[in-house]
Chains A and B, each alone.
Chain A
Amino acid sequence: MDWTTRHSKRGALFESRRYSDWPTLAEDLSTGNLTASFLLAPMAMSLKQRGVPIRVVYLGHRDGTTLMVRADSGITRFDQLRGKRILVPSRYSNQKLWIARLLRENGMTFSDVELSDCPPPDMPAMLATGGCDAYATGEPHAARAEMAGTGKVLLFTKDSWPNFISCVLVVREELIRTRRDLVQELVDGIAGSGLWLDRSQENRFEAADVVGKYYYNQDPELLRFVLSKPPDRVRYSQLTPLRKDFDEIMNLAVGSGMLERPIAFEEYADPSFADAFPGSPLPMPGDTEGTKP
């Protein structure tokens, strides 16, 4: 956000507002207290179906979700989770849909496992203390258990559901109507930062140090781990919202009862901002070739 602000042609100020749970964030978005946010993809569809005037304009990242089990569990295959307790971040999360997809692939249903919601920061402790047998969440909360030695990776989304979408950037429709230039600058800033991040491992380490220290209040070593082990654990490019990806999410969400009825891509997505992105990484400090594509 700071870098988007610094490169704003109109001198606009982009600020980030941190939340600790999804329901509060969704409530602020619904009432208009918040006009732009990163949000779980199925939650964005659900809010739109309930009349909240929002549009998905970009993706937050691709992949970056991991299914963790206890390090000493002996579990090496998904079907060994039959009868086990699995945590997901929210009943409207794509992580829940990933579990639905895995259950289907293994000839199982939701009735074969015990699925519960849990705030992602609490998941590593739940796993370590026996409060659950597995959890599926976005990073860095899987890597925390891995680094601590209490958890091990059962599956990465990148191997099981390639190009997985978790968080999307949504904006309220009145912001698109009245401040289209501002939304474009926001998308350009996020897209440009993503291209810069994915350009080299050095850039990822630099970002881990800055973000860990000043924004996430996380150990930079943890973020370095997330962004390098393996390097494609999470990706920040190819973030244009695509109909085929969202239709798959929507169909899974309807099939699992997360959405009451189907919703068309055009009703909740507006990829025009991503299409208008000029395709250049944002120039970063000490970056002499930052403007080259």
Chain B
Amino acid sequence: MAASSTRKNPIRLLLICVAGWTALITLAHLAANVGFSGFAEDARVALGLERRSLRVGFLPVT
């Protein structure tokens, strides 16, 4: 039923394809450039749930 309706409505099919492609590109960008944990951290920082943090290792010499 749904398949036949999209076949009958090319605009709807186009919108579904564009939305799917956008979601795919967004996920690929998150995976390649941000990382899902980084994205989750961004979201928590944006929502004010935590501060952005960076831990720096050192040995107590000089």
The answer to whether the Cβ of A139 comes within 8 Å of any Cβ in the partner chain is: yes
Report whether over half of chain A's contact residues are helix, strand or loop; otherwise say mixed.
mixed
On whether the beta carbons of A37 and B56 are closer than 8 Å, the reply is yes
- Residue A178 contacts which of B38, B61, B62 (CB distance < 8 angstroms)? B38
The answer to whether the Cβ of B57 comes within 8 Å of any Cβ in the partner chain is: yes
Instruction: Please report which residues of chain A, range 207-223, place their CB below 8 angstroms from some CB of chain B when the two chains form the complex.
Output: 215-218
The answer to whether the Cβ of A151 comes within 8 Å of any Cβ in the partner chain is: no
- Residue B56 contacts which of A14, A166, A178 (CB distance < 8 angstroms)? A14
Distance between Cα atoms of A124 and B34 in the complex (Å): 46
On whether the beta carbons of A178 and B33 are closer than 8 Å, the reply is yes
Residues in A whose Cβ lies below 8 Å from that of B33 = 177-178
Distance between Cα atoms of A14 and B51 in the complex (Å): 10
Distance between Cα atoms of A20 and B52 in the complex (Å): 26
The answer to whether the Cβ of A264 comes within 8 Å of any Cβ in the partner chain is: no
On whether the beta carbons of B59 and A20 are closer than 8 Å, the reply is yes
The answer to whether the Cβ of B8 comes within 8 Å of any Cβ in the partner chain is: no
Smallest CB separation, B60 vs chain A (Å): 5
The answer to whether the Cβ of A29 comes within 8 Å of any Cβ in the partner chain is: yes
CB 8 Å contact bits of A173-188 with B (1 = contact, 0 = none): 0110111001000100
Smallest CB separation, B42 vs chain A (Å): 9
The answer to whether the Cβ of B20 comes within 8 Å of any Cβ in the partner chain is: no
On whether the beta carbons of B62 and A64 are closer than 8 Å, the reply is yes
Q: Which 6 pairs from chain A and chain B are nearest by CB?
A: A37-B57, A138-B61, A138-B62, A13-B53, A64-B62, A12-B52
| A/B interface sample: 23 pairs, CB < 8 A | A12-B51, A12-B54, A14-B53, A14-B56, A16-B55, A18-B57, A18-B59, A21-B59, A35-B54, A36-B54, A37-B56, A37-B58, A38-B57, A39-B57, A140-B61, A167-B62, A177-B33, A178-B35, A179-B38, A186-B54, A186-B56, A226-B62, A234-B62
